[in-house]
Amino acid sequence: MKWNALRPLVVAGLFVVALPAASARPDPAALDMCGMAPSFFEDFADFRVASRDLRGVNWTAHTPWNGDFGDARFADPGPGGPFSVSGGTLHITARKGRDGRWQSGLIAAADGTGRGHGVRYGYFEARMRMPAGPGTWPAFWLGAQRPASDKRPSLELDVIEYYGKFTDGYHVSYHLWTGNKATESHTGSIITVPRESLVREFHDYGLKITPRTIGYYFDRRLVWQTATPKEHVYDMYPIVNLALGSGYPIDQTPDPSVLDVKYVHVFRLDTAAHCG
* Residue pLDDT, tens place only, 118-157: 999 999 999 999 999 999 999 999 999 999 999 999 999 9
Inform me whether the pLDDT recorded for 3 exceeds 90: no
User: CA 163 → CA 67, 142, 172, 275, distances in Å?
Assistant: 20, 18, 12, 38
Work out the mean pLDDT of the chain and round it to a whole number. Answer: 91
CA–CA separation, 211 vs 269, rounded Å?
10
Mean pLDDT of 46-58: 97
CA–CA separation, 238 vs 58, rounded Å?
11
Q: Quick one: pLDDT at residue 24? A: 55
Cis peptide leading into residue 131 (ω within 30°) = no
First to last CA, the chain: 40
User: CA 96 → CA 81, 82, 84, 229, distances in Å?
Assistant: 11, 11, 17, 41
| Torsions phi, psi for 198 (to 5 deg) | -75, -20
| CB contact at 8 A, 85 and 44 | yes
Q: Quick one: pLDDT at residue 25? A: 67
**H/E element, 46:** none
Q: Quick one: pLDDT at residue 11? A: 37
